[in-house]
Chain A
Amino acid sequence: MGALCAVIAIISVVIPFAAGLALLGTVPTGLLAYRYRLRVLLAATVAAGMIAFLIAGMGGFMTVIHCVYIGGLTGFVKRKGRGTLTVIVLSLIAGVAFGAASVGALTVMTRLRHLIFEVLTANVNGVAAFLTRVHMQKAAVDLTRYFAWALHYWQWWMLVYYGLGVMVVSLIGWWALSRLLERMRGLPDVHKLDAWDGSKNEEAPVGPVPVRLDKVRFRYPGASQDALREVSLDLQVGEHVAVTGANGSGKTTLMLILAGRRPTSGTMERPGTVGLGKLGGTALVLQHPESQVLGTRVADDVVWGLPPGTETDVGRLLSEVGLEALAERDTGSLSGGELQRLALAAALAREPALLIADEVTTMVDQRGRDALLGVLSGLTKRHRTALVHITHYNNEADSAERRIDLSDSPDNTGMVETSAPPVPAVAVDYRQHAPVIELVGVGHEYGIGTPWAKTALRDINFVVEQGDGVLIHGGNGSGKSTLAWIMAGLTIPTAGACLMDGRPTHEQVGAVALSFQAARLQLMRSRVDLEVASAAGFSHRDTDRVAAALGVVGLDPTLAKRRIDQLSGGQMRRVVLAGLLACSPRALILDEPLAGLDAASQRGLLRLLEDLRRERGLTVVVISHDFAGLEDLCPRTLHLRNGALEPLSTTAGGRA
């Protein structure tokens, strides 16, 4: 949160004409004050203030202080449930207090104060002299006199200025905060793990394995069905167990129970406490690579969070997962597979007795997946650790000694697959084989002229024709995303041009649809029908058009009233596609469309896209680091490496 506030403060200082944004910096601090204790707000202030100071100097720091002061006030009032009147009164008092503090500070810093006043006086006198030149004597005299009088009573002026100023900004912040909370329907909380409560059984030793579950069931509070149906299993020391099952079968719930949550019924026996993150206890490796890695440098992340004074052989751990060459690198530049291996090394640094790997390969490309599995399969031989590997890929479970299959639970909300895509209401006539997107000598360099200049793309030339299916394949850092943004017109290339119908794409933003890798970021409204209508540009009350748009992507029209945060990953991706396709774009670019989906969802999505390409003549460009399953959709493949195209390799039926 501190980072968000710092970002807004920095942007408001650095980018011109954005001074109004400083007002909005009060909203995140207001949210912090609303949701958490004062201590959290103080910590956020220090973090945000330091970042703002490093970037924009004293001015940025003062902006952050202002935001926190006012935002904290509005959030606090919101938490106590008071109304606008309280805000007005309190902000007036707070403003006057702040003004008094400023007055005190300026009184002490005499030299600075005199300098500032002299400069102000000089400016005013200069304006007065100018006015005298243009024969507006009276105005000049009045100006000088009023200014001198104001300067004489500068203390009072500052108090009034701050009092009123703080009040106005508080009211604006209050309005924004109220609208925001209403829109977000309170703050969503996706916290999953319970912190190890050290207050009770402080003396109990840590001992998660061997663990025995007997007829354990779990139901989330307020749910109508069990998330985890009755399961009985036992886990010995040093065993390698794989847990498989489709989405929704309760694998994550099992992980939570093994990590310490109390089941709704059934018994669990273990020799000691769970000891999450403690030496010899339980360690977790979760699904999202970037959020798990907390240190900024690779070597620092391995020891992050260990009790001070613990000796760790960082080099040995890094070489075990294959990252010893990267010990001094920044974690921001690592790929997904490398991040997951780093998280594994950090987990192993605690010498856990039980290691749970929850779907660790889902967000990782093929090469990273192989490396990860290589480390995991030999783990139990090298350490005295019991490994529970949760996955929905069947081939990964083969290396385990034992396999537990959680069958489908009734809670699984499946996707409705229509047997045949509906015929579009208006037949659009595309000319066959006309070029849609042309890239001519496109090159892009970030930060030209600065010492951080980086060439992302070099001399890219190709043509995408109507009804074509192209796969742009490249590894981490090859420039694929930059290419996708240039083709959609969101970035102007520094060399060459990307043309559509002879005009550059950056003048026709929106003609080419782009589906981002994180579908979550593209969904802006709170409900499916609102989202589709807003993406396509018609009113959400037009239920026929909404239903038609949902039907194109194979979603049931009853899904229209569902809230976005209740959708699964595959459903979210389809809603994004529904909105994009309802605009009838010339081409559709998909950035890593299969990331994070399980096998069944991937197949369904690919089938949908193939049907769309065949029936409607839609031009599809897929950007991915995998080949699997995309041969039917994309008969043409382009390889991108380090920003340059390698010689084309075509599969059967492709064009040279």
Chain B
Amino acid sequence: MTASTDGATSRPSRPVVLLIPVPGRSAIHDLWAGTKLLVVFGVSVLLTFYPGWVTIGTAAALVFAALRIARIPRGVLPSIPRWLWIVLALGFFTAALSGGSPKISLAGLEIGLGGALNFLRITALSIVLLGLGAIVSWTTNVAEIGPALATLGRPLRILRIPVDEWAVGLALALRAFPMLIDEFQVLYAARRLRPKRIPKSRKARRRRRAMELIDLMAAAITVTLRRGDEMGDAITARGGTGQLSANPVRPKLADWVTIAITIAASGAAVALETILHSTY
């Protein structure tokens, strides 16, 4: 039989990879996970209260600097689906039509840029926030996040908040995450292998879809519960929770430097903005 090499599509789309650091070492990879979490949290709060161009620019500069230092290649970005581009274009178009200050004159026509600028501002804000979270995901080993949270939350223990419990829960969830994703893939594949029955009426079709959804959820939840119970047995066999990590990591000089740079940059941005009154 002749073989038609029709298999591969012209350009495969890049998948979304979750919670696996980019291989390689760099200064950002070596930073303590707690520093990265603090920086991300701080900048997010800053941007929420001061979403002006100056602060967005400063945050974007920090993000790009971190990306360069960590030597993250362009391939990490998942392919952006076409519908997202369409939605963005539509939003930009309608915002641009509205006009508003500042106005510029171009070839005798007065174009109001206000609406478009604001739309761009919100888009830039969202992208910078996503980028911050992504940097943590791309440069941090998942095993360090649980202990980092436990250390960061230590002052909260005074308020009798069970931070240790939460850190253990987070560490276990991160451990179980890849296993559960694999099992869900198998569940979904097993469903695909089954023959499909097309029922006659539309009502029967709706009911069948609802039942299928419930079945899928029940299967997924049973699988998760079983994993959870097995892990619970393993925890009991180890005598309960306790230490999370063999070599506790302490913040080093690089971490303090990073935090200092972030605070300085944010302070300068806020000051500049208040002085300039560029936004209100």
Report A's interface with B, CB cutoff 8 A.
1-4, 6-7, 10, 14-17, 24, 27-28, 31, 39, 42-44, 46-48, 50-51, 53-58, 109, 111-112, 114-116, 118-119, 121-130, 176, 179-180, 183-184, 187-196, 259, 275-278, 281, 283-284, 286, 288, 290-297, 299-300, 302-308, 310, 312, 314, 330-332, 346-347, 350, 435, 438, 440-442, 446-453, 485, 488, 490, 492-499, 501-502, 504, 509-510, 513-514, 516, 518, 520-522, 524-525, 534-537, 580, 583
What are 17 contact pairs spanning A and B, CB under 8 A? A3-B177, A57-B130, A111-B49, A183-B218, A188-B222, A277-B240, A296-B171, A305-B240, A306-B242, A310-B243, A312-B246, A332-B179, A492-B9, A495-B7, A497-B6, A513-B193, A514-B193
Contacts of A127 in B (CB 8 A): 94, 97
The interface size bin for chain B is 35 or more
Q: Tell whether A111 pairs with B234 under 8 Å between CB atoms, given A4-B180, A497-B7.
A: no
Report B's interface with A, CB cutoff 8 A.
1-9, 12, 14-20, 22-24, 44, 48-52, 72-73, 75-76, 78, 81, 83-84, 91, 93-100, 114-116, 118-119, 121-122, 126, 129-130, 132-133, 136-137, 141-143, 145-146, 149, 162, 165-166, 169-181, 183-184, 186-187, 189-195, 197, 213-247, 279-280
Contacts of B172 in A (CB 8 A): 47, 294
Q: Tell whether A28 pairs with B221 under 8 Å between CB atoms, given A57-B132, A127-B94, A190-B229.
A: yes
Interface centre among B14, B24, B174 (most CB of A within 10 A): B174
Contacts of B50 in A (CB 8 A): 111
State whether B223 touches A509 (Cβ < 8 A). no
Contacts of B149 in A (CB 8 A): 50
The docked-state distance in angstroms from the alpha carbon of A277 to that of B237 is 5
State whether A294 touches B175 (Cβ < 8 A). yes
From the candidates A46, A196, A303, name the one contacting B236 in the complex (CB within 8 A). A196
Contacts of B221 in A (CB 8 A): 4, 27-28, 31, 180, 184
- Further 16 A-B residue pairs, CB within 8 A, beyond A449-B14, A450-B17: A2-B173, A27-B217, A27-B221, A28-B224, A43-B165, A46-B169, A53-B133, A54-B137, A119-B119, A122-B115, A183-B215, A184-B221, A294-B175, A300-B143, A450-B14, A496-B5
State whether B240 touches A295 (Cβ < 8 A). no
Please name the 7 residue pairs, one residue from A and one from B, whose CB atoms are nearest each other, closest first.
Answer: A277-B239, A122-B115, A125-B98, A126-B97, A291-B230, A126-B94, A305-B238
From the candidates A44, A47, A450, A534, name the one contacting B75 in the complex (CB within 8 A). A450
Contacts of A440 in B (CB 8 A): 3, 5
State whether B143 touches A294 (Cβ < 8 A). no
From the candidates A4, A130, A194, A294, name the one contacting B224 in the complex (CB within 8 A). A4
Q: Tell whether A190 pairs with B238 under 8 Å between CB atoms, given A51-B173, A332-B178, A494-B8.
A: no
Q: Tell whether A54 pairs with B242 under 8 Å between CB atoms, given A127-B94, A495-B8.
A: no
Contacts of A314 in B (CB 8 A): 246
The docked-state distance in angstroms from the alpha carbon of A291 to that of B4 is 44
State whether B52 touches A111 (Cβ < 8 A). yes
Contacts of A42 in B (CB 8 A): 166
The docked-state distance in angstroms from the alpha carbon of A304 to that of B168 is 10
State whether B232 touches A3 (Cβ < 8 A). no
State whether A308 touches B243 (Cβ < 8 A). yes
Contacts of B126 in A (CB 8 A): 57
Name the residue of chain B whose CB is nearest to the CB of A498.
Answer: B7
From the candidates B4, B18, B218, name the one contacting A184 in the complex (CB within 8 A). B218
Name the residue of chain B whose CB is nearest to the CB of A580.
Answer: B193
Contacts of A347 in B (CB 8 A): 237
The docked-state distance in angstroms from the alpha carbon of A473 to that of B73 is 36
Q: Tell whether A300 pairs with B237 under 8 Å between CB atoms, given A115-B122, A447-B14.
A: no
The docked-state distance in angstroms from the alpha carbon of A42 to that of B179 is 23
Name the residue of chain A whose CB is nearest to the CB of B119.
Answer: A119
Contacts of B22 in A (CB 8 A): 451-452
State whether B49 touches A126 (Cβ < 8 A). no
State whether A438 touches B95 (Cβ < 8 A). no
The docked-state distance in angstroms from the alpha carbon of A477 to that of B254 is 37
The docked-state distance in angstroms from the alpha carbon of A495 to that of B173 is 35
From the candidates B15, B194, B224, B239, name the one contacting A305 in the complex (CB within 8 A). B239
Interface centre among B6, B23, B133, B229 (most CB of A within 10 A): B133
Contacts of A24 in B (CB 8 A): 213, 217
The docked-state distance in angstroms from the alpha carbon of A438 to that of B3 is 9
CB distance from B145 to the nearest CB of A (A): 8
Q: Tell whether A39 pairs with B162 under 8 Å between CB atoms, given A57-B130, A521-B190.
A: yes
